[in-house]
Structure 1
Amino acid sequence: MKQLSLILFATFALTACEQQPAGEPVVRSELGEAVPRLLQDPVETLAAEEDDDAVCRSVTFENVPLTHCTADPELHRISTGLAPSSGPNFGTIEGWAAGRDESTIAFVMNGGMYDDALKPIGYFVRDEDRLSELDRGEGSGNFYLKPNGVFFGTGGKWQVLGSNTFFNTIGTRPQFGTQSGPLLVIDGKLHPEIQDNGPSKAIRNGVGIDAQGKAHFVISDAPLSFGQLARYFRDEVKTPNALFLDGNISSLWHPASGRMDKRRVGPLIVVENRGVE
């Protein structure tokens, strides 16, 4: 593997919209406000000249550095998890990873929004156990910017669907599932409420499924707008649907590069290597 490089990005002030009163859901509203990002730790990214078939690779889109990780049903399996709510490194991927065999892990990324207790907001299934119901209600913040959606799957079939479509068409509980919002791309078109390049800039991540059934996870390594992230999925990854996972807390663990982001998270999406038991 070619040499990895470390890129350090600037530190930005964390705005009050990320601090929620005790007991209230962390439902962020970022579409219409400028939201600078506090990077709690240096962001490691892969060298631009790395192998094209690497699971996670560095790309640049509209002058913003991104890390693009791809899960292949033939090579990987996907599950969900929860960051620990207590103990050392609680609320972090690092806390979840403690004691695990990293050779089994392709990568782990934050997988949706959470409340004051780090519990998922909206639909969440782990190992076929539904821990939280589908939320089709009204509310404020990104999660409730309709249509929102669900990333879910069983075995090697993974999908992103709008929450109402999921409710009306999926009758069997999947092995894993997580709800978030908004959808960034809907049937090949950008979400109608997302500006081309709005004033809100933040570290953000999302997921989409391409025509071959591969899952593409994208996390920005510098602040970007919703429109930029949505266009990357539509124009570069060409996923018919793509789902926003979260902003400002977006985190990645990629053992092959040594990257371990340490921001506060709740729901997790775990991508493991097949054939490693």
Structure 2
Amino acid sequence: MRSALFALSAVLVLAACSEAPAGEPVVRSRLDGANPAESASPSPEPTAQAESACRSVTFEVVPLTVCTADPAKHRIDMANVGPDKQPFGSISAFAKSVDAGGIAFAINGGMYGDDLKPIGYYVEGGERLKELDRGDGAKEGGGNFYMKPNGVFFGSGGAWRVLGSNTFFETVGDRPAFGTQSGPMLLVDGKLHPEIQDDGPSKAVRNGVGVDASGRAHFVISDAPVSFGQLARFFRDELQVKNALYLDGAISSLWDPARGRMDKGRVGPIIVVTKQEGKTPE
């Protein structure tokens, strides 16, 4: 499975943060016309006899789905383009290109532009396809990605981390096996991003990722509109995560083969969590 992901060619991916943490949401210029309330739809068939790495929870009356990647059981990589050299554009299109039996789950994650090219750091299969973006967004129209600090989710083998982009630049010398840049950071050293309100008026279906002290990567996607503050507090208070990274809003999509969940929506980078051979989630 991992070799199939590594064979995916160079990536053209699409920008992820489309709502402002406080005040009115930023208008997205690349809507696909999908109704976020109708974004979740089942796959034709759940994977037979498979245990799901995802679970449903409720936090401050908001329903959430939490999918956990365990270094002892899973590996992580990125995916964006298929054999035809074109971006998948949706998780369902990606799903058609792989053996679902080897997939624990997949979720959108990473910054992309209207041309489907990454606008931040991106490494797939050990190949760096986009350099770290340390700009301030003045020429790019701003947006959540440029609300510093933004960050990088990255790793190799079973070692995964979330770091602020400047910290990543200053401390990480070796190229990871995978990496994706997004923003803003939801949590930095256990504290909410300074521009995120405790429960601001901007609410949407959103997703993010954080890595706990034991090295497990927790991916959270809301099943109803959630504020940035609520999502950040869930990572901090319930998942005991110190650093958490916002991945996207409105188009947030999850594929959980074991439970037959296949969300609709136009996506760019896809974070793919695969099962290690002979290992299954408990």
TM-score between both structures, scaled by the size of structure 2 = 0.82
Q: Give me the CA root mean square deviation.
A: 2.5
Distance 1:83 1:213, change over 3 A: same
SS in 1 for 2:94: helix
> Where do 1:177-188 residues align within 5 Å?
177-188=179-190
The aligned residue for residue 190 of structure 1 is 192
Give unmatched runs, 5+ long, in structure 2: 1-13, 28-33, 43-50
The aligned residue for residue 54 of structure 2 is 56
Bigger relative CO (Cα 8 Å, ≥ 6 apart) = 2
The aligned residue for residue 112 of structure 2 is 114
Task: Please list the CA deviations of residues 188-226 of structure 1 after superposition, one character each: whole Å capped at 9, or x if unmatched.
Answer: 111111001101010100000001000000000000100
| CA distance in structure 2 between the partners assigned to 1:123 and 1:87 by the alignment | 20
The aligned residue for residue 274 of structure 1 is 276
SS in 2 for 1:212: coil
Work out the percentage of aligned pairs sharing the same amino acid.
Answer: 61
Give unmatched runs, 5+ long, in structure 1: 1-23, 46-52
Distance 1:157 1:254, change over 3 A: same
> Where do 1:66-145 residues align within 5 Å?
66-82=64-80, 90-139=88-137, 140-145=142-147
| CA distance in structure 2 between the partners assigned to 1:226 and 1:83 by the alignment | 30
| CA distance in structure 2 between the partners assigned to 1:177 and 1:252 by the alignment | 19
Q: 1:204 aligns with which of 194, 203, 206?
A: 206
User: Number of residue pairs matched?
Assistant: 247
The aligned residue for residue 4 of structure 2 is none
Greater displacement, 79-88 / 255-264 = 79-88
Q: 1:160 aligns with which of 159, 162, 178?
A: 162
Task: Please list the CA deviations of residues 122-179 of structure 1 after superposition, one character each: whole Å capped at 9, or x if unmatched.
Answer: 0000011111110011011110110010000011100000100100011110000000
| CA distance in structure 1 between the partners assigned to 2:207 and 2:274 by the alignment | 19
1:134 maps to a residue whose letter is L
Answering whether residue 27 of structure 2 is matched by residue 30 of structure 1, we say no
SS in 1 for 2:231: helix
Deviation at residue 54 of structure 1 after TM alignment: 4.5
1:98 maps to a residue whose letter is K
1:234 maps to a residue whose letter is R
Whether the aligned pair in 2 keeps the contact of 1:114 and 1:267 (CA below 8 Å) is: yes
Deviation at residue 86 of structure 1 after TM alignment: 8.1
| CA distance in structure 2 between the partners assigned to 1:65 and 1:134 by the alignment | 33
| CA distance in structure 2 between the partners assigned to 1:99 and 1:215 by the alignment | 25
| CA distance in structure 2 between the partners assigned to 1:42 and 1:89 by the alignment | 20
| CA distance in structure 2 between the partners assigned to 1:79 and 1:25 by the alignment | 18
Deviation at residue 276 of structure 1 after TM alignment: 5.6
Answering whether residue 149 of structure 2 is matched by residue 151 of structure 1, we say no
